[in-house]
A and B are shown apart, each in its own frame.
Chain A
């Protein structure tokens, strides 16, 4: 596996202040590309993956947490989603598959430096998001060129991306060996990208993509033919950890805001924060978020370094199961104010992506159930 990084190692302790400092100069209405460029220019993205040649595709869990915390603090969930998918899904795949030279290596280097953005295009026009092996986008692998035809839906960062990392099938059938990743420049003839048309997560530049006989040189294959799904599965855990870390950052931010509001608002001369029912509901949320954080801390390295898919499923399902009730409670506790523009009710709607994107909670719980015996064994004293 090629060495990913040549920069001097950073330190986890310095990462969040550096990320926050890098983002401080970025305008509040910056696009996903501008935020990504600022992080790249400050060396934050290279530091994230700077763990030595033996672990080129595995980000440091602590730095990933700090990066997502710093981006989430901007309060634009769409931007955070874009950073998350690029940092925790696209980069590990590129890092694992990039040869020493060529377009895939260039994509990796430019994405790490922040000079380019990349969208991960897996969810397909021809199948439900939860039915990945049913995807219809096809790549014909010839001796001299690739031809890509099909479409992708709800692709994060799509209409700001310089490149798309596309999961396609090179043969019929649902077997996991039928799929291959292809690197597609967004400007290649035959690529059409349109905004997804949603009022939620607008900063994420989510779009739908069509590929009409897109012709590319064969060096745009990412990894070996037939290993697309395996490569995806191997690094899926990193995105699942990132989702859980974002859920912690997001719920913490909304809980902090909610507490301030409860302290300021009075009923019959007493702050709402003094009401026992309110306090108990709030404390329940705090316990849930703290549990999620503990799960991230205990499983982070297991997921990114050992590719433990059962641990990743625990994190993914926990994020979905915690974020929804916590944010619903915060929105309820904020009363009518929760309906303000970009208020708690809006955030709650956007955070539903944590229980849908990258695998719906119910499906991921199936993986947890599949691993019941091993997980029970781990719980043994």
Chain B
């Protein structure tokens, strides 16, 4: 996962403590409630300059850090391809 993504995610996870964010980390169990998930969506779209596709706007996407990053990185790649400036997500 991208370091910027982990940094972005951390303040939204009130039960994270000193743990490292792993791809299989459950966002809900780490404290991400509905309102914070909405704020996280805005932060993701502002930070990475992407809009998550309608088909990926579901609870599966927001289930774990890994599932969310998979969708973000695909959106970044799609955005890069559309702009003609390929950007590869880390």
Verify B58–A175 contact, CB threshold 8 A. yes
Verify A177–B35 contact, CB threshold 8 A. no
Q: Which B-chain residue is minimally distant from A171 (CB atoms)?
A: B58
Binding stretch for chain B, among A15-23, A212-220, A229-237, A243-251:
A229-237
Residue A174 interfacial (CB < 8 Å): yes
Verify B38–A229 contact, CB threshold 8 A. yes
Q: Which residues of A contact B7 (CB under 8 A)?
A: none
Q: Which residues of A contact B61 (CB under 8 A)?
A: 177
Residues facing A in B20-67 (CB within 8 A) are 34-39, 41-42, 54, 57-59, 61-62
Q: Which A-chain residue is minimally distant from B28 (CB atoms)?
A: A175
Given A176-B37, A309-B35, A367-B35, A226 contacting B42 (CB threshold 8 A): no
Given A133-B34, A229-B34, A177 contacting B39 (CB threshold 8 A): no
Verify A177–B59 contact, CB threshold 8 A. yes
Q: Name the residue in A171, A225, A227, A367 with the highest tally of chain B Cβ atoms < 10 Å from its Cβ.
A: A227
A contact patch SS: helix
Verify B57–A174 contact, CB threshold 8 A. no
CA distance A229 to B58 in the complex (A): 12
The number of chain A residues touching the other chain, given as a range, is 20 to 34
Q: A176: which of B14, B38, B54 is its contact (CB, 8 Å)?
A: B38
B contact patch SS: helix
Q: Which B-chain residue is minimally distant from A224 (CB atoms)?
A: B54
Residue A173 interfacial (CB < 8 Å): yes
Verify B37–A309 contact, CB threshold 8 A. no
Q: A226: which of B34, B36, B39, B57 is its contact (CB, 8 Å)?
A: B57
Verify A230–B42 contact, CB threshold 8 A. yes
Verify B34–A225 contact, CB threshold 8 A. no
Verify B57–A307 contact, CB threshold 8 A. no
Q: Which B-chain residue is minimally distant from A173 (CB atoms)?
A: B59
Verify B38–A175 contact, CB threshold 8 A. no
Q: Which residues of B contact A229 (CB under 8 A)?
A: 34, 38
Residues facing B in A195-240 (CB within 8 A) are 224-227, 229-230, 233-234
B64 to chain A minimum Cβ distance, whole angstroms, is: 14
Given A175-B59, A177-B59, A225 contacting B38 (CB threshold 8 A): no
CA distance A374 to B42 in the complex (A): 18
Residues facing B in A159-184 (CB within 8 A) are 171, 173-178
Q: Which residues of A contact B57 (CB under 8 A)?
A: 177, 224-227
25 A-B pairs with CB atoms under 8 Å apart are A133-B34, A173-B59, A174-B34, A175-B34, A175-B58, A175-B59, A176-B34, A176-B37, A176-B38, A177-B57, A177-B58, A177-B61, A178-B58, A178-B59, A225-B54, A226-B57, A227-B57, A229-B38, A230-B41, A230-B42, A233-B35, A233-B39, A234-B38, A234-B42, A370-B36
What 17 new A-B contacts, CB under 8 Å, besides A230-B42, A233-B39, A309-B35? A171-B58, A173-B59, A175-B58, A175-B59, A175-B62, A176-B34, A176-B38, A178-B58, A224-B54, A225-B54, A225-B57, A226-B57, A227-B57, A229-B38, A233-B38, A367-B35, A370-B36
